[in-house]
Each structure stands twice: as structure tokens, then as C-alpha cells.
A and B are shown apart, each in its own frame.
Chain A
Amino acid sequence: MYRFPTPSAAGLGQGPHWRKFSSTTLHVTGIALVAVSVGLLACTLLEVLTTGRDTAALALSTLLAGTAGAVLWYLTRPGTVGKRQIFATVAWTWVLTTGVGAVPYVLAGTFATGGAGFVEQVVNSVFESASGFSCTGSTVMADFDNAGRGLMMYRQLTQWYGGMGVVVLAVSVLPFLGVGGLDLISAEAPGPNSDRLTPRVSETARRLWIVYAGFTALAAVALFAADGFSSVYDAVAHAFTVASTGGFSVYPDSIGHYGSVAVETVVIVFMILGGASFTLHWRAVATRRLPHCHNSEFRAYLLLLGLCSAAVAALLWATGGLSPGSSLRAGVFNAVSLGTSTGFGNASGPGSAGDYVAWVAGAQLVLLLLMVVGGCTGSTAGGIKVMRMQVLAVVMVRSLRQAQAPRAVIPVRFGRDLITEGVVSQVAGFFLLHFLLVIGGLLVVTALGGELETSLGAVVSALGNMGPALGEAGPTANYADAFSQPARLSLALLMIIGRLEILPILLAVVPHVYRARALTRVLRR
């Protein structure tokens, strides 16, 4: 059990801490909401300066989120942080932030199209918010013209917040955090481990956000240049979602709207970098060298993307009736988009070259494989992660070798490092839980009326935070047409579970299960 030392306990300030309610969850949620309200304020100003359609909704949302966040931040203080509290804090912070994040859509009536009732509007808003904060990129938005530029920018911004993580953001402004802070970051960060960039955890979180912001700015400049310096709004909006590997676009046909090879190339480069570890990026900036070349995970990641892109392009060329150039363009873009869990599309419409739902099944299966694997650890990407897949591959080979030589002691190596049996068990357990969640999610979503192929794609996509799925929820379709309202809510939950890498949400529930089992045992006696 870890305790956050209060300022007064550290002798650095005197405040009425004895009056404050001790809750790390509410405290961190408060900070996260304040951060979201800052983004909302910027979007309100943008809305005022541009379309002006959703100004009132955005202003009210800013006020609500800001007030709620400030009240929670001020009235609470970080309490005792044990393992369970850490997982509960992260899980509840995400659930509450997603809930509050849905308010602007509800107030603006973004989903009030096609005679949707209030409940359906709320469901769609929660889905869109969850898809945003979890960097999934699935959408239920049918009419993109029904939202002002400010609200659309807010939608993009939710992915940017979710990319690095609202808890990491909160930790960066929380002073005097010890080991508990690193555990909080670990519980939220994608991947099995979190590197400390500096001795102080809050400084580590701050540096991660700095490199993230710098990366986003660079992406915005590159996109602005690639689009012929035509729209700052477009460049910034897409930079937010390419850096976070989220995949939301301000256009219904995503990157296919531009029809430009230059834009697609820039997006591919930044998607690949977004799917790599930000710790590596920081070290590259700090040391002015490229540590990526010596990182076995990054090399495997590039190899996987390269091989799958080539395989998809070859299959399209051989079976799709496309020219070599079109096959290469469509294959590489979509393979990288789904392999980095971004979810951008380059299809100009249903049945066009980039619409992978119309591709041969083999190519779709390669994309499904990429959706399962995802990006690198420490990146903003989702999926199981390349490093875990590498460990699983080594474990599989070891177990097959041990079947032939049962007494052999075969260590598991990752690059030059030995991996402990604890990590091996953890990775195998994670894979198994992921697999079980896919099966469970598929059962639930199909039971709620989803079509089989579409549901399979959507569940894998939601857990891996990809965005577009297969079948009726492909890159040129939206989820509202493919799934019922309860199915959409289930998928929203899966998105958050996938973003937090399963454990925090499950571990917020498991203690109760163990308690119930213990109670059952007592009753049996």
C-alpha cells in the first residue's frame, strides 16, 4: 500500500487537508475534467469564430465540465493508493470522463437526425465519446454537416486527450507522487511496462506530454504543407487524431476526401510513428540519435507492417482487378492504418479501391491480423501489442520444444534480455483474457442483433481501438446502421476495456467476485 504524502506532511505548505474528502479517484477525475474543459473552451472560441452553430452547447459543456472538475479537484485529496485503488482509479476516471465527454453532443443535438429519440441520442453520444477518448475512431455520426467546426474539433480533441491518457495528464500536474504515480501511469499506458524517463514520476508524465504535443504540432505542419497550405483547421484536426492514432476525421470519407497521394504519404508516416513508443521518440530528441534502430520491438513492428502491406497489395493486384499502383496505395494505406490502430480510410466511396470490405477475404484476414496485433508498447496505439506477440511467439516455440524435450530448461529472451517467468505468465494471461473478451463480446453483440461478420470485426476493432470494422461497419459505413443501441453500448464498454488493456476494468470487478466466492464458501460451511 502506498500513500501520497500531502504537502503539509512534506512540510511544504499548510492547507485545510483534514477537511478534504480522501479519494484518489475523484481527485484524478477532477483534474481530467478540468483539462477537458480547457479543450472545450478552445473549441467554444473556435465555434464562435467560425460556424457559431453549437456555441451555446459548447459553452455550457465547458462550464459544466470545468465546474465539476474544479469542485472535485478542490474538495478531494489523493488518498491511500493500493493496487486495487490504482486500478479502480484509472477505470472510474475513464468511465466518468467518457460520460461527461458525451454532454456536448447531447446538448448540441448532434445525433438528433433521422428522428432519433432522446435515449438514442444519449447512447450515440456516449458511443462517440467512448470512441473518442479510447482513440478507437468508430463513429455513429451520419450527418457530418449537422455539427459546427468547434464541435468537430472537440471530437478530434477527445482522441488527442485519450491518446496519451487523461490519467497521465493528471499525474503530470500532481506533485509529490511516489511509486503509486508510476503504477497509475502503468495501469493506463498501453503495454506491459512503463519506463521512467526521469526520477520524478510527474516529470516523466510531463515529458511524455511534451513530446506528444511536439509530435502533434509537427504532424499539423506536415499535413498543412501536403494539402497545399489550404486549411489550418483540417491540418490541426487531423494532426490530433493521427498523433493519437485515433482515426476520427472531419469528413465522412476520412482521408479519402483529399484524394491526394502526398496527404496519404504524410499520414502513413505519422501513423507509423504514432504506433511506435513515445519513450523512444523522447530519447531520440534528447540524445539526437535514433534508438529505434536498436529496438527489437520497433524492428518487428516495421517488419510486420511491411510484410502485411506487401501481402495485401499483392492480393489486391492478383485478385482485385486493380492496377499495381492502386493496389499498392490502397494496400499500404489500409494495412498501416489498421496496423497502427488508427482507422483512417482512403476510400472515396463504397466499392472504391480503398474500401477493404469489398476486398478478397484473404486481404481482409491480413487486416484482421493487424487489428489484433496493434502497435508498439508505450505508443498511443491499441491491440495486443507487438512486444507481447513477440513474447508469445517465443513462449509457443519454447513450449513446442519442451514437448519434445520435456526436461529442457529453455529461457525466454527478448532481444538480448532474459524475460522472467512472471512476465511470461502475465503476457500469456493477457492474451488469454483478450481472446476470452473477443469471444464474450462476440456472443453479446450477436445476441443483441449484430450480423456475424460485422460483429466479429466490430468486437476485434473495439478491443483493439481500431475504428472501422468489417461487413456492414466498414470504412465507408457507420455503426448506427449496423448495431442496435444495446450493442453500441456494449461496444463502447469494450473500447474502454481495450484502451485500458483489460485489467483495470476487470480488476475493478474481480475483488467483488472473490468476495462473493469467499462468502459462498462460508455459507457452505
Chain B
Amino acid sequence: MLDGRAALKRRLPPRLLLSSIWLGLLVIMAVFAPYLAPKDPLAQDLMLGRLPPFWVKGAEPGFFLGTDSLGRDVLSRILYGSRLALMVALIAGTLTCLIGATLGLMAGYLRGWVDLLISRGIDIWMAFPPVLFSILLIAVLGPGISSIIIAIVVIDWTRFARVIRAEAMAQGAMDYVASAQVSGRGRLSTMVAEILPNVLPTIVVLLTLEMGIAVIVEAILSFVNLSISTDDPTWGGMISEGRTSIHQAWWVLVFPLITLFLTVLSFSQLGEGLKDRYDPVLR
């Protein structure tokens, strides 16, 4: 990792640079939303419904990106929506990674019945339509941020488990693992001390990609009105509303869509960029 840092200083590829800038910006937006948002994201005013963005005729000063059908400020709602998106990305991504990678490591390294059980579980999971499964889970768990996170973890752990299992298997077959075991190390401690560091780059890349996926899942759940209460600002909820009023007020769809697009693209480009640079396995 040390020479990796040196390489980073030499020349940052544009896709790593640009995606980092956007994600950094997003963090700032989320953290400082109450200070940055020009309006209350929940304030409705039917008199100010469907105002266009500032450069279009009929725009009202103060509503920079226009308003939705209930007169709520689009820009403020996007800013507040970034809070939920990032929270879900971080928490759900990390939890999915922890659980999936652990199961994958155990299956790939311990083999035997542990592997059999986990692999069969992965097979069963792969037979579920993921979007439908997540919607079903939210219906069962009830709306709310913790439900979204649980749904993402339950559905996506296989992404990590599959890759890490294969990788741990490959590493486990190598000589350095055998020599570690001969020297008297326990199986579990070999796993953590010898295998884990070697699959870590893969895990980091997958985690980055997973965060992008989590953002999308959250948007999809909000889109079908199942994520959190429908009043709260979410990108998916805004897109859902924008979809219905697309012929009257395109801006209600376009701005959250672009924000979501850039965010998903950034996570994915960041992951791909990291993969190219550091990960000998996925590359």
C-alpha cells in the first residue's frame, strides 16, 4: 500500500480525481445541508407550485432550481436528500461488506461443510429477483432507514461472498499459507493474518462499488414509495414525482436524476479506478 500512495502522488487518473471531487462535494452537501439549503425542504406553498429553474421565464428568485407541484424547493430537497443517500451508502455498504466478506472468507478458506452451507445459500440467493426481494423486505420490515439498510445487506452480501470466497480459495492454496500453518498458527488466525491482508484490495474495491449500488437501491425503494415517509426529501421520491409530472415540470425529474447519476457514476468509477490501480485479482 505504501508504494501505492507514492503512485497516487505521481499522477491521479482523471476518473479517480473527478469522482473523488464529486463525492467530496456530496459529503459537504450532506453535512452542511441545513446551512446550504436556501429553503425549508418540507415547506409547501401551492401558490408557488411548479416554478421553473432560474433561467426559464416565470422563475421566482430564491427558487434556484424551481419547485415541485406542492411548491417545495427542488434544490433544498436535493441537498437534504443527499443525507439519506450517503448515510445508506456508508452504513449499508460497510455492513454488507463486513458480513459478505466474512462469510466469503470462511467459505473459501475453511471449506468443508461451512463452504457447502454458504455456497448453497449463495445459490439460493442468486435465484431471487433482487429488486423484488428488496421491495418485499421493505414491505415486511416497514418503511424507515434501518429497513432500507437491512434490505440492502440481506440482498447484497452475496456480491462480496462470491468474489471473496473464490479469492480466499486461491490464496489458501498458496505456499505461504501452508508454511504459516506448519509454523503452528491456528486456522482462524491464519485466515485473519495471512489471507485477509491479501484479499483486502479486492474488498475495498467491492465496497466502493457496493456504495453506488446502495444509493441506487435506496432511490428505487423511494421511487416505489416504500423507503421512508413520502414527505421526507429523497432523490428517488423526487424522481417518482418528476416522472408523473414530466410533461408539465421536467426540472422536478432532471435535477435529482443528474445528482443521482453523478453519484452512482462516481462510486462506480472510483471502484473501477481503484481496481485498475491496486487490485491484481479483479483486474
Binding partners A and B: no
